[in-house]
Amino acid sequence: MKPSRHPLRFLCAALLALPGAAPLEAALKNPDTVIYAHTGEILTLDPVYPYDSATQGMMMNVYDTLLRFDGPSLTAFQPVLASKVPSARNGLVSADGLTYRFPLRKDVRFHNGDRLTPEDVRYSLLRFMLIDPEGGPAALLLEPVFGRNNTRSPDNKLTVTKAGFEKAVKADRDGVTVRLKKPFGPFLSIMARWSYVTDKKWCVARGEWDGAYETIGRFNNRQKESSGLYRAMNGTGPFQLESWDQNGKQLILKAFPGYRGSPARIKRVILRTVSDFSARKKLLEAGDADIIDLTRPEQPQLAGVQGAHVADDLPRLLTDPVFFFTLDIDQTDNQDIGSGRLDGQGIPLNFFASASVRKAFAYSFDYAGFLKNGMKGKAVRARGAIPPGMTGYSPAAPAYEYNRLRAEGYFRKAFNGDVWNKGFRFTLTYNNGSDIRRLACESLKRTVEAMNPRFHIDLRGVDWPVYLNKTQNRKAPLFTRGWTGDYPDPHNFAFTFYHSKGRFARAQGYADREMDKLIETAVLEPSPAKRAQLYARVQAKAYQNAPQLYTAHPRGLYGLRDWLKGFYDNAVFMGIYFYPLSKQ
């Protein structure tokens, strides 16, 4: 008999047959490709429109910014497209804190081969601010640069003047200068995450804004599908677009060979929306996904998965889940409010405008039980919007606790007793793929319905794009969302949650002039001690008004294959930075 040329094959088979023998390590799959199975959906490829984690997490791999945070730090910066980090010491920040100069690198090219110019940077920053789609991120830069949070009057007229436009961002031969309206402490932190730069010449060729003040009105607040960049990308980042299958909910990036420094070691990145955890788990087990989104309730199910582990206790600037009460509900084609009356079969449009109703719900949630059973002890109890580690957060701040007697008292008081005597029915929504928000909704439904047989809350999961549209347009009477910090400063939470022009407050129809004034004062206050006092007052007023119901500040986690190397995280990433990754 001819000897086998592979004698180890028989030894391996014999070892595997032994009782209790551990499986051999799985063979490395797709060594040049990283596959990320996530729960969100990518909504557009134009960086001026999206404000969700799935899309923004992808964007930062394609579009470089002027600066970035140094590794996991939230206080130290690295120059990226800029050649230096501006500071008062190096003379790139003026003594009055209003002027920031960004000298640019000379060796940078876009994915299409065009060379980066200062005019590209000027154009990109102005475009980010002035396209200003409803619900988009423009306010992040509009606030410090133009001193306003949007670009339109109530009758949709452009409110940015030509003089303000020409003064805001200027390009010269070697860089750009940004002029702020007022000193704004978090400005560099915003630039480190949101100063995406694209190619002006390429944009204009695709029918986009030409960069002139006189033409911006035609592009301001367009629908995202009208953008020439809706399905196209041209950045300077380590990856470039290969394909986007919207129906299949999959986007593929490929390494940019002309990336400054050295190209990424990973040649392709596949981002795939997989809302069902069991499907994501199977992909990770089989080695057909290298990274998966993971929630606390799902984490125990990964125990024992060979060749995989959980990257746990990742830092987050996160408040999630939060229940948002819509104070002025839009009834147009709205099935979530039942009859639209307080008759036991629906709710009126102003149901949650009642502080008694909101406080009744706030006392109805089992916070301790949710932290223990839902978050598995891996979260801090939220006492407001501002997370731990930020100015204004205090573990001793007033917060609602589960108290059935107090909840019943407020329910009996609301609408002169009609809420208790007649009951209500409405639909509470969460986004599909978020098991932790679903669990929070189930918990609230259980405790509220247990108080009175006339109380009925229906639950429904909604796909992410539809969910965003519903919640931002006041179609959802009560909904669950969360907030990951855009930049590491309490203003990003206080403004977003509580200011009448903030993202969530606008979606709810919540407005309080005193609250607005507190927030506007706090962001400009140079003294850290005084800022802390102001934000403590913001949190106290939020407790008094109860516009939202806060549950937790969670730590982050992902499921990873063991062969994935180089992974690191930053609390403001909103996704995975793929450039340092390799597989071995």
CATH of the domain at 446: 3.10.105.10
484 within domain boundaries: yes
Instruction: Report yes or no: 243 and 231 within 8 Å, Cβ to Cβ.
Output: no
Give CA separation, 487 vs 25, 484, 507, in Å.
40, 9, 21
**Tokens 């205090």 belong to residue:** 394
Residue 546, beta-bridge partner list: none
Instruction: Report yes or no: 476 and 336 within 8 Å, Cβ to Cβ.
Output: yes
Query: Quick one: 94 and 214 in the same domain?
Result: yes
Residue 431, beta-bridge partner list: 462
pLDDT, averaged per 10 consecutive residues of the chain (584 residues), comes to 40 41 66 96 96 94 97 94 97 96 97 98 98 94 95 92 97 97 94 97 98 96 96 98 97 97 95 96 97 94 95 94 98 96 98 98 98 93 94 92 98 98 97 92 98 98 91 96 94 96 94 97 90 95 98 96 96 94 97
User: What is the spatial distance between Cα 142 and Cα 182, in angstroms, rounded to a whole number?
Assistant: 12
Which three-class secondary structure state does DSSP give residue 341? coil
Query: Quick one: 96 and 147 in the same domain?
Result: yes
183 within domain boundaries: yes
User: Residue 578: which residues within 8 A CB-CB, separation 6 or more?
Assistant: 34, 61, 238, 239, 253, 264, 266, 269
SS3 for 325-340, per residue?
Answer: ECCCCCCCCCCCCECC
Domain-ending residue, one of 177, 198, 226: 226
Please give the structure tokens belonging to residue 309: 């582990």
Instruction: Report yes or no: 40 and 464 within 8 Å, Cβ to Cβ.
Output: yes
Backbone dihedral angles phi then psi of residue 15, each to the nearest 5 degrees? -65, -40
Query: Quick one: 145 and 218 in the same domain?
Result: yes
Query: Quick one: 329 and 308 in the same domain?
Result: no
**Tokens 């990145």 belong to residue:** 269
Query: Quick one: 304 and 322 in the same domain?
Result: no
182 within domain boundaries: yes
Q: What is the DSSP letter of 374?
A: I
Query: Quick one: 298 and 346 in the same domain?
Result: no
Residue 16 is predicted with a pLDDT of 40
Domain-ending residue, one of 226, 261, 288: 226
Domain-ending residue, one of 226, 248, 265: 226
Residue 433 domain boundaries? 318-554
Rounded to the nearest angstrom, the gap between the alpha carbon of residue 440 and the centroid of all alpha carbons in its chain is: 19
32 within domain boundaries: no
Rounded to the nearest angstrom, the gap between the alpha carbon of residue 450 and the centroid of all alpha carbons in its chain is: 34
Query: Quick one: 273 and 420 in the same domain?
Result: no
**Tokens 């507190």 belong to residue:** 518
Amino acid, single-letter form, for residue 129: M
User: What is the spatial distance between Cα 511 and Cα 481, in angstroms, rounded to a whole number?
Assistant: 19
**Tokens 């001793």 belong to residue:** 396
Counting Cα atoms < 13 Å in the Cβ hemisphere of 479 gives 30
Query: Quick one: 300 and 393 in the same domain?
Result: no
- State the CB neighbour count (10 A cutoff) for residue 207: 12
Instruction: Report yes or no: 329 and 474 within 8 Å, Cβ to Cβ.
Output: yes
Q: Ramachandran region of residue 38, left (φ > 0), alpha (ψ -120 to 50) or beta?
A: beta
87 within domain boundaries: yes
Which three-class secondary structure state does DSSP give residue 478? strand
Among 91, 139, 31, 93, residue whose Cα is nearest residue 505: 139
User: What is the spatial distance between Cα 352 and Cα 357, in angstroms, rounded to a whole number?
Assistant: 6
CATH number of the domain bearing residue 187: 3.90.76.10
37 within domain boundaries: no
Backbone dihedral angles phi then psi of residue 254, each to the nearest 5 degrees? -125, 150
Rounded to the nearest angstrom, the gap between the alpha carbon of residue 406 and the centroid of all alpha carbons in its chain is: 34
Give CA separation, 93 vs 62, 103, 434, in Å.
28, 12, 43
User: What is the spatial distance between Cα 416 and Cα 449, in angstroms, rounded to a whole number?
Assistant: 20
Query: Quick one: 182 and 192 in the same domain?
Result: yes
DSSP string over 109-149: B-TTSPBP-HHHHHHHHHHHHHH--TTSSTHHHHHHHHSSS
CATH number of the domain bearing residue 253: 3.40.190.10
Give CA separation, 149 vs 3, 59, 138, 341, 496, in Å.
78, 23, 8, 35, 11
Please give the structure tokens belonging to residue 42: 């990518």
Residue 245, beta-bridge partner list: 250
267 within domain boundaries: yes
Residue 9 is predicted with a pLDDT of 42
Counting Cα atoms < 13 Å in the Cβ hemisphere of 391 gives 22
User: What is the spatial distance between Cα 489 and Cα 397, in angstroms, rounded to a whole number?
Assistant: 18
User: What is the spatial distance between Cα 135 and Cα 133, in angstroms, rounded to a whole number?
Assistant: 6
Give CA separation, 459 vs 38, 41, 441, 442, 473, in Å.
23, 21, 7, 8, 19
Dump strand ranges (E) for 383-453: 424-431
Residue 135 is predicted with a pLDDT of 86
Residue 18 is predicted with a pLDDT of 43
Residue 13 is predicted with a pLDDT of 41
Residue 82, beta-bridge partner list: 104
User: What is the spatial distance between Cα 547 and Cα 145, in angstroms, rounded to a whole number?
Assistant: 29
Residue 464 is predicted with a pLDDT of 87
311 within domain boundaries: yes
Query: Quick one: 251 and 359 in the same domain?
Result: no
User: What is the spatial distance between Cα 366 and Cα 514, in angstroms, rounded to a whole number?
Assistant: 30
Residue 26 is predicted with a pLDDT of 67
Query: Quick one: 271 and 363 in the same domain?
Result: no
Please give the structure tokens belonging to residue 175: 């860089």
Whole-structure pTM value: 0.85
Into how many domains does the chain fold? 3
Residue 109, beta-bridge partner list: 115
Query: Quick one: 419 and 293 in the same domain?
Result: no
